């Protein structure tokens, strides 16, 4: 349904995470290697980051309803954007969902950036005026923001119980913390000397990439990566 990526570490260029890797999000928008649902991710993209030069910065976003591979403006500017915390995604829209910039992750409540890789029945989610779009991911993001990120695990388990067919891979960051869940789709982690990458699939063939087991919560704080099982219906 989508591919996403998160970074927490030393400031690096956005291009080095999204565009430059041989199998980065730009390539994953037309040729993902591990995607289980859908063939391409051409229904939009988004990048959110916290400025490396502004302590305590609010999240900044650049989103589009067009394919990432064709955005020459982003390709030109992204090498100059540097951040120690990034959330980026390319989108494959669920059938019947609108294709618009506001439907592309990352979503934000003004403090956090959130991406959802998956699908969920909007009927199990409360209606929220805070949702940025009518798409399932935006409504789910509004629920997660409302419940609070310290309750992310409980929220995912609750939604998964209400919709057994849901896929609920979440990636969320606030500048100093990076959280993720695996629930029905892939996620890999790469620990580097300068930080940690979480991604739907490895963006290169570095031997240190490790797959995260399904139904786990991942928390990155500093250089520490903690995995916690998510207990819920099988």
Catalytic positions are 2
**C-alpha distances out from residue 106 to 32, 91, 158, 174, 223, Å:** 19, 10, 22, 12, 23
Nearest to 73 by CA among 58, 63, 83: 63
Q: What are phi and psi of 224, to 5 degrees?
A: -90, 135
**C-alpha distances out from residue 191 to 12, 122, 198, Å:** 15, 35, 9
* Tally of CA atoms within 13 A in the half-sphere of 68 that contains its CB: 30
Residues 146/10/187/104 CA torsion (nearest 10 deg): 50
| Cα–Cα distance for residue pair 37/54, rounded to 1 Å | 38
Contact 146, 195 (CB under 8 A): no
* Tally of CA atoms within 13 A in the half-sphere of 105 that contains its CB: 34
E strand or H helix at 144: helix 136-147
Assigned token pair, 84 = 């120690």
């Amino acid at each position: 349904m989508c591919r996403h990526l998160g970074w927490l570490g030393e400031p690096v260029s956005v291009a080095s995470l999204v565009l430059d890797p041989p199998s980065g999000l730009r390539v994953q928008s037309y040729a993902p290697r591990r995607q289980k649902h859908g063939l391409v991710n051409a229904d939009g993209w988004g990048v959110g980051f916290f400025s490396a030069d502004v302590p305590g910065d609010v999240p900044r976003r650049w989103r589009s309803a067009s394919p990432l591979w064709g955005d020459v403006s982003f390709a030109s500017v992204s090498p100059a954007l540097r951040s120690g915390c990034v959330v980026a995604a390319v989108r494959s829209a669920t059938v019947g969902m609108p294709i618009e910039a506001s439907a592309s992750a990352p979503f934000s409540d003004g403090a956090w950036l959130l991406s959802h890789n998956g699908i969920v029945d909007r009927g199990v989610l409360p209606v929220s005026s805070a949702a940025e779009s009518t798409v399932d991911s935006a409504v789910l993001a509004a629920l997660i923001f409302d419940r609070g990120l310290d309750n992310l695990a409980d929220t995912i388990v609750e939604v998964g119980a209400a919709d057994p067919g849901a896929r609920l891979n979440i990636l969320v960051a606030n500048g100093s913390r990076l959280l993720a869940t695996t629930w029905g789709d892939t996620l890999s982690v790469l620990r580097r000397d300068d930080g940690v990458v979480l991604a739907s699939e490895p963006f290169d063939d570095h031997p240190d990439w490790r797959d995260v087991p399904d139904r786990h919560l991942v928390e990155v704080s500093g250089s520490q990566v903690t995995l916690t099982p998510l207990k819920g219906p099988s």
